Chains A and B, each alone.
Chain A
Amino acid sequence: PSCHCLPQLPCVYVIASPLVLCWVVPLAVRSLVPVLFPCGFCHLFLDCIIAKESPASLRQEIRGSASCLCSDHEFDMADIFYFCRSGVESIVDDEVTKRFSAQELESWNLLTRSNYNFHHINMRLTLLWGLGLLTRYGILLPLRVTLAVTGISLFLFFTTLVGFLPNAALRSYLSEKVHMMGYRMCVSSLTAIITYHNRENKPKNGAICVANHTTPIDVIILASDRCYSLVGQMHRGLLGMIQSGMVKSSPHIWFDRSEVKDRHLVAKRLSDHVADKTKQPILIFPEGTCINNTSVMMFKKGSFEIGCTIYPVAIKYDPRFGDAFWNSSKCGLVWYLLSMMSSWAIVCSVWYLPPMDREEGEDAVQFANRVKATIAAQGGLVDLIWDGGLKRSKVNDAFKEELQKLYSKVLVGDHEDESERMEI
């Protein structure tokens, strides 16, 4: 009897250990890390370096609260002080540029990549860091990569297989199962510890789901809970292969590079998909680019013009266990995934928010802002009006023209105020 058991044992071990480690690791991470990294380790600085008073009107800001003193001067040479100061304030700290790089931590989490300003503190810390390095690269990374490769291969194999099935109903049922399996294996391979809140608000068929965007992993995290139809550009290489595989068995919306620019085409395809109530909800990230999970930036109005129900979702990552933000200007996707797999873990919370519809008299932009504010409030993120596209492009001159118009009113508006006062 013992001879039969021995050859079986290694197989069991090989199969069980990744699964066990992907279960043991979350447990370990959750309980040990708060013990190992107490807050007193190495403090860094507060997010905001400048104390700003609450914004008053432009006139008050420039002229001070005693505006009646200057009413006989239309223009005071010192008016430039206001623009001067706000300009220098934005040089010292601004709301936008810091959203495109990883969030700075209060205490170091023993990952070199999060080490911005921490110098060599003591021997103990360096030893801990070395130990952590060995654990992460020696144990966690190889296991995770193996699991990921296994997962993706199985996924490609099964989606192709299911795509050949003649019966549409069976095909969609099985493809859902295959997709979920694929996503769940990916989630385990990243050791993503996800907490879903308010599952009763999970998106239903024939609607659009919007969420804040931090990383491509957002898709995997949301899709491991229910199936979505994804929208995006068709890529080349490995990602393109995966995209083609996905489309064989369920209705995703992939665009060619040339079609992406055609907004009407995009809108048409989205509305067609949404009109069919049997189809899965579409997952859209209206920011259009990855932001570092401290704020929510401008939502593009395209998906809010279609006129269907919107299910907002807020995703918040815990930066202590690993920085989930993908800085596409710093590293490519494969490098990013490898660094994700060599962090401690990806810990995040997902909040499903109640569905929202466009109200009477509300246009697409106002609706988008309302949804954005809801997501920001739930996730504890800063609600910004700035466009995420500022990561790569210059700011629109319209904002400057707005400010110039406001200042002109301060200069010339005196006459209007005076004439009003005299009439009363």
Chain B
Amino acid sequence: MGSRASRLLREEEIEEIKKETGFSHSQITRLYSRFTSLDKGENGTLSREDFQRIPELAINPLGDRIINAFFPEGEDQVNFRGFMRTLAHFRPIEDNEKNKNPSATEPLNSRTNKLLFAFRLYDLDRDDKISRDELLQVLRMMVGVNISDEQLGSIADRTIQEADTNGDSCISFNEFIKASFVVNIHICTVVLVLVNI
């Protein structure tokens, strides 16, 4: 009678996700519950419409770009693994993680990967450079109609001028890291608080 017909997450899957993303067991089950509640079609994947249904995300000026970041190249559906992989970027950085596995690949929530996530929000065509146009596009999304084209253009030019070190009028990832160095990376994290079971 109206109970949710959702597939339960198997223990092996939880273990795999734990290893890949670093989330704890309870966090993974909690996020799976969230995933299934967003999945209105109940087919185990989320589409862009499922994300758009969240009002607070729909009014976010960068909402569409953030939603895009969840979907792999050219695909329209994201499964739970992909969902968790993207969310993993937003886990807080723990210092002891660096010492655990020096030979392993960089964790998803490392500082570099967080910055790469933000970089990709600008770099739509994935050519590893932010052009003036791409910068203007994001600026326009964030300010709406409140700033004129000329003023926005000059802001973009000034930003590129300050960040661009090799003179190609584009911002590469290395230049990007240095430009936002002043920002405390803490601002990029989402802190997940859960009751201990």
Q: Determine which of B37, B55, B63, B189 lies in contact with A87 in the assembled complex, contact meaning CB atoms within 8 Å.
A: B63
Query: With A64-B187, A76-B183, A77-B176 in contact, is A411–B143 under 8 Å at CB?
Result: yes
| B159 contacts chain A at the CB level, 8 A cutoff | yes
Which chain A residues lie closer than 8 Å to B29 at the CB level?
Answer: 117
| A225 contacts chain B at the CB level, 8 A cutoff | no
The number of inter-chain residue pairs (CB within 8 angstroms) is 184
Q: Determine which of A50, A77, A87, A408 lies in contact with B147 in the assembled complex, contact meaning CB atoms within 8 Å.
A: A408
Asked if A83 contacts B34 (CB within 8 A), the reply is no
Mark contacts of A65-86 with chain B using CB atoms, 8 A cut-off: 1 yes-contact digit, 0 otherwise.
0000110011111111111111
| B25 contacts chain A at the CB level, 8 A cutoff | no
Which chain A residues lie closer than 8 Å to B163 at the CB level?
Answer: 77
Q: Determine which of A50, A85, A327, A386 lies in contact with B55 in the assembled complex, contact meaning CB atoms within 8 Å.
A: A386
Residue of A nearest to B54 (CB): A94
| B61 contacts chain A at the CB level, 8 A cutoff | yes
Asked if A89 contacts B190 (CB within 8 A), the reply is yes
Which chain B residues lie closer than 8 Å to A92 at the CB level?
Answer: 31, 34, 87, 190, 192
Q: Determine which of B31, B60, B176 lies in contact with A400 in the assembled complex, contact meaning CB atoms within 8 Å.
A: B60
The secondary structure that dominates the A interface is helix
| A265 contacts chain B at the CB level, 8 A cutoff | no
Number of A interface residues in the complex (CB < 8 A) = 65
Q: In the assembled complex, how far is the CB of residue B35 from the closest CB belonging to chain A, in whole angstroms? A: 10
| A51 contacts chain B at the CB level, 8 A cutoff | yes
Q: In the assembled complex, how far is the CB of residue A57 from the closest CB belonging to chain B, in whole angstroms? A: 15
Q: Determine which of B62, B184, B197 lies in contact with A83 in the assembled complex, contact meaning CB atoms within 8 Å.
A: B62
Which chain B residues lie closer than 8 Å to A91 at the CB level?
Answer: 51, 54, 57, 66, 87
Q: Determine which of B146, B155, B171 lies in contact with A404 in the assembled complex, contact meaning CB atoms within 8 Å.
A: B146
Q: Determine which of A43, A86, A401 lies in contact with B195 in the assembled complex, contact meaning CB atoms within 8 Å.
A: A43
Asked if B144 contacts A400 (CB within 8 A), the reply is yes
Q: Determine which of B90, B147, B176 lies in contact with A412 in the assembled complex, contact meaning CB atoms within 8 Å.
A: B147
What 9 A-B pairs are tightest by C-beta distance, nearest first?
A: A404-B144, A78-B180, A408-B146, A90-B56, A78-B183, A87-B66, A399-B59, A395-B55, A51-B193
Contacts A/B (CB < 8 Å), 12 sampled = A49-B34, A50-B192, A64-B187, A77-B122, A77-B163, A86-B60, A87-B62, A90-B60, A96-B54, A112-B1, A119-B8, A399-B59
